[in-house]
Amino acid sequence: MPPALLTTSLVNTIQIGSLYALMALGITLTFSVMKLPNFAHAEYVTAGAYAALIVSLSGVLNPLVIMIAAFAVGALSALISHLAVFKPLEGRDVSFYTLILSSFAIGLIIRYILFTMADYFNLFDLRIAIPLRIVLRDGNLILSNLFAWVVPTSVILVIILTLLLNRSPLGREMRALANNISLARVIGIRVERVKNYAWLLVGGLAGVAGALWGLQTAVHPLMGWGAIISVFAAAILGGLSSFSGTVLGAYVVAFSENTVMLFLNANYGLDLAFKPAIPFIIIIAVLLLRPQGFTNLIKRAEELQR
């Protein structure tokens, strides 16, 4: 593998891994707090991307405004799907698969609402109007302004989320909810309020990820759905419970899709068209061989540090 290819693929790994991490954290949060594998998560990403696209087409090019709009729309669509779909199903002793099917159904509805809108206003395959530039070039290493945006945003959001969960009262309440919901209720946590905040956070993160994902590719109603399997693979690598494990998982998935795939292509002639199979194979392998994902590894590393 030539050094230039290796460098580029590692840069891509970091950039795409950061995006996957932003999307996957929401899945881990929904699964650990709400006990729900939410396939509609993909559509919050798409909704956020469309919010960003529309704001940028209206002439506002301030990245912060675009992010806030994406966060708001993503958060709103997540909260609506909670209030309208998931909350009424709670406490009814519904099976796990009812929840999965409901998440598919609400995802389908959001996706085709976006389709209807995109068709009516002719918003297919457009790009958020922030031009791409090279900000750093040193030998084989080339970093774009997208990289300069994506990586710090992801890192900062991941840190904020971790602090929020570990240090703030809201985070404590969420963790209590994740551990034991009836106990949380008994000790006086306002469960519904905490859940609403959790959904806003999940959707908002997905929305921001969508805005950034829309800078990486073209905005289309299927763009979130196209990334969801990789994102689920990342969350499953994190054991669907650990945030640091999920972030690590996101980079592992991105690394496999970029560097490992290119290595196999360059050395063994494996067709790049097999790339979509990679996250699938990761999911199968992890669930069969190591369903806890990275969680124990991380715990052990923490114990060693102490």
Whole-number minimum distance, CB 281 to other proteins, in Å? 6
Kindly tell me which residue out of 72, 80, 90, 115 binds other proteins, with binding defined by CB under 8 A: 115
Kindly tell me which residue out of 120, 268, 304, 305 binds other proteins, with binding defined by CB under 8 A: 120
Say whether residue 271 binds other proteins (CB under 8 A). yes
State both tokens at 301. 């590393």
Residue 80 or 164 with smaller CB distance to other proteins: 80
Residue 188 or 269 with smaller CB distance to other proteins: 269
Residue 187 or 289 with smaller CB distance to other proteins: 289
Whole-number minimum distance, CB 246 to other proteins, in Å? 16
**What is the distance between the alpha carbons of residues 217 and 133, in angstroms, rounded to a whole number?**
15
Kindly tell me which residue out of 59, 91, 131, 188 binds other proteins, with binding defined by CB under 8 A: 131
> Which residue, among 241, 251, 39, 262, has the nearest Cα to 150 in the 3D structure?
251
Say whether residue 94 binds other proteins (CB under 8 A). yes
Say whether residue 5 binds other proteins (CB under 8 A). yes
Across the chain, where does the E strand assignment appear? Answer: 134-138, 141-144
Distances (CA, A) of 52 to 61, 96, 154, 157, 238: 10, 34, 17, 18, 29
**What is the distance between the alpha carbons of residues 204 and 181, in angstroms, rounded to a whole number?**
24
Say whether residue 174 binds other proteins (CB under 8 A). no
Q: Which stretch binds other proteins (CB under 8 A): 168-176, 191-199, 201-209, 255-263?
A: 255-263
What is the residue-wise DSSP string for 130-164?
----EEEEETTEEEEHHHHHHHHHHHHHHHHHHHH
DSSP conformation class of 124: S
Q: Which stretch binds other proteins (CB under 8 A): 167-175, 199-207, 261-269, 298-306?
A: 261-269
87 near 249, Cβ under 8 Å?
no
Say whether residue 192 binds other proteins (CB under 8 A). no
